[in-house]
Amino acid sequence: MPTAAPAAPEPSDFIRDIVAADIASGKHTRIHTRFPPEPNGYLHIGHAKSICLNFGIARQFGGICNLRMDDTNPTKEDTEYVDSIRRDVDWLIGGWATDTLGLKRVGADDGRVVVADDGRVVVAGDGRVVVAGDAEPGTALEPFYASDYSGRLYSAAVRLIEAGKAFVCDLSAEQMNEFRGTPTLPGKDSPFRGRTAAENLDLFARMRAGEFPDGARTLRAKIDMASPNVHLRDPALYRIRHAEHHRTGSKWCIYPMYDFAHPLSDQFEGITHSVCTLEFEVHRPLYDWLLAALDLPAPLPRQIEFARLNLGYTVMSKRKLLQLVEEDLVTGWDDPRMPTISGLRRRGVPAQALRTFATAIGVTKFNGLTDVAVLEHIVRTELNTVALRRLAVLSPLKVVLTNIPAGEVIEVEAVENPGDPSAGTRKVPFTREVYIDRDDFMEVAPPKYFRLRPGGEVRLKYACIIRCDEVVKDAAGEVVELRGTALLDTRSGGPDSGKKVKGTIHWVSASHAIDAEVRLYDRLFTEELPEKDGRDFRTVLNPRSCVVVQAKLEPALARTVPDTRYQFERLGYFWPDPKDSTADRPVFARTISLKDAWAKETAKA
């Protein structure tokens, strides 16, 4: 295994500045963040940014980051998503922040996370360690679930009612919309706003008991219908939903809203910094109001917002990704063209590359568009250091080297990784008949073309220089074969090995090559902004986002090592598709192409 890159300096951003200041001022003596996805879709690279931020902060400040399923809407959530989220988080932070992953003992619920005398985080009243890295071996751990807090959330709502700060409202959804006013016009008080605490308590209990149908009543905060912030205009806290919840089953028929459940979940878990995206900025006054209204003890969690990731040549919202999946525009959530974490993983992108990317793009409140070239560059850099070099021909053109006797096998030595001598070398068979890529031969070539042309010479990497003597065509005039001479004295290590030619190309021995399907992935969309000016992103799908070819590979590729990345020399980084590749029928996926200065040159012309 190559040694890890030297430890990068810890990142710095305005959120980490706040965290550091809160420690310096003594406001907090420990740091606790959380990553709270709703299990209604797969995680994508935007979530990766958030994961790296939240776990990165925990790591940097010796704290913990809880994984919490924000599952307060039974109609949208599913255990398939819970499982995928767990997998993706484990993979992304594996070996990096696993020690900071906050989980809880399976079944432990309604537990307040507190710090014990020895500094360990435990669930109060339970006493069990909940940090994954600290857990006793064999302890079954699971993420936190907002739905586990149903009981305590309900109690908090009751207290709010008792304090006269919440009321049961009989307005329908449409009526509530009318009463809310508009951003420019103040709203009107609900006619049910004046109900007594006793009446509210009774009604809320009956809501819970299932006496009313869906939508019949809500529990609302009593704040200010004239507030310029519409989220403060007596927002709904609980709604009636007679629905099966993926976790609590039919135990509850009332479910808390995000604005009610989230700040309280944070507080229950002892979260110190609740980091979320910009669209929740206007919710922050409500977040703070709720914690204050319940008179909860300091230090209270603080919500901080940052800009979500926007990446070129892709779409990012769960809704659109779901659409791609449901309309079979891709093969699934883990299609290697998807910006999902599972898609990127299957594509062959290392977790470390995603982490490096998350750090590289920074954290601010500016809503920008990140150039996908940054991601591509980081993936190449990461792979370049670890990938084993291999020879592979994607579009084979046979070359017969007439001066090599049929049946003779010349073993040439090839380096595994030029940047890592310890990776060693391997033998590659070189014979009379080889395949080269069609791109590496031109019958009529421009002056700056360095590869093979009639009468020209080129070096076969690791072997020797060859000369093209004859071009064989079929009836249609297509080039079907080349015949040439191997200049054996120019062999690597041979007497004329120092001879210079402009070009060096890759090749495989025709008789030794193995056949394999190779999937050449490219950007999913042809436009950097798929939805620019309101256009339907489906109209700019890249028809060449997955090009499948039958390739000829050097024999060493018959045996691949799990989790190993390969560079097909001069082409790009590849690895066996973890789902579809078998020993009988190898399937390789291109993670990313190599930079191609020649392609750029020809594109200019």
Partner RNA sequence: UGCCCGAUGGUGUAACGGUAGCACAGCAGAUUCUGAAUCUGCUUGUCAUGGUUCAAAUCCAUGUCGGGCAACCA
Catalytic residues: 38, 308, 318
Residue 323 binds to RNA (criterion: CB under 7 A) = no
Residue from 32, 49, 180, 245 in contact with RNA (CB under 7 A):
180
Rounded CA gap, 270 and 99, in Å?
A: 18
Residue 425 binds to RNA (criterion: CB under 7 A) = no
Residue 363 binds to RNA (criterion: CB under 7 A) = yes
# of chain residues touching RNA (CB under 7 A): 96
What x-and-dash track marks residues 482-521 binding RNA by CB under 7 A? --------xxxx---x--x--xxx----------------
Question: Least distance to RNA from the beta carbon of 336, Å?
Answer: 20
Rounded CA gap, 69 and 67, in Å?
A: 7
Residues of this chain, 295-314, that bind RNA according to CB under 7 A: 307
Asked if residue 205 lies in contact with residue 211, where contact means CB atoms within 8 angstroms, the answer is no
Q: State the number of CA atoms in the 13 A half-sphere of 205 facing the CB.
A: 8
Residues of this chain, 377-406, that bind RNA according to CB under 7 A: 377, 380-381, 384, 389
Nearest CB to RNA, comparing residues 116 and 282:
282
Residue identified by tokens 């009529």 is 444
Residue 96 binds to RNA (criterion: CB under 7 A) = no
- 222 DSSP assignment: -
Rounded CA gap, 67 and 70, in Å?
A: 10
Asked if residue 437 lies in contact with residue 506, where contact means CB atoms within 8 angstroms, the answer is yes
Question: Least distance to RNA from the beta carbon of 117, Å?
Answer: 34
Residue 18 binds to RNA (criterion: CB under 7 A) = no
Residue 182 binds to RNA (criterion: CB under 7 A) = yes
Question: Least distance to RNA from the beta carbon of 134, Å?
Answer: 28
- Backbone φ and ψ of 237, nearest 5°: -110, -35
Nearest CB to RNA, comparing residues 300 and 458:
458
CA angle 428, 395, 349 (to 5 degrees): 75
- Backbone φ and ψ of 295, nearest 5°: 55, 45
Q: Is the dihedral of CA 524, 527, 528, 532 positive or negative?
A: negative
Residues of this chain, 190-229, that bind RNA according to CB under 7 A: 214-218, 228-229
Residue 68 binds to RNA (criterion: CB under 7 A) = no
Contact segment (CB under 7 A) with RNA among 111-119, 199-207, 455-463, 557-565 equals: 455-463
Residues of this chain, 111-150, that bind RNA according to CB under 7 A: none
504 closest CA partner among 519, 492, 516: 492
Residue from 199, 371, 469, 580 in contact with RNA (CB under 7 A):
371
Residue from 373, 409, 472, 480 in contact with RNA (CB under 7 A):
373
Q: Give the E-state strand segments of 423-521 in sequence order.
A: 425-430, 433-437, 457-460, 465-473, 479-487, 504-505, 508-509, 514-521
Contact segment (CB under 7 A) with RNA among 6-14, 80-88, 108-116, 509-517 equals: 6-14
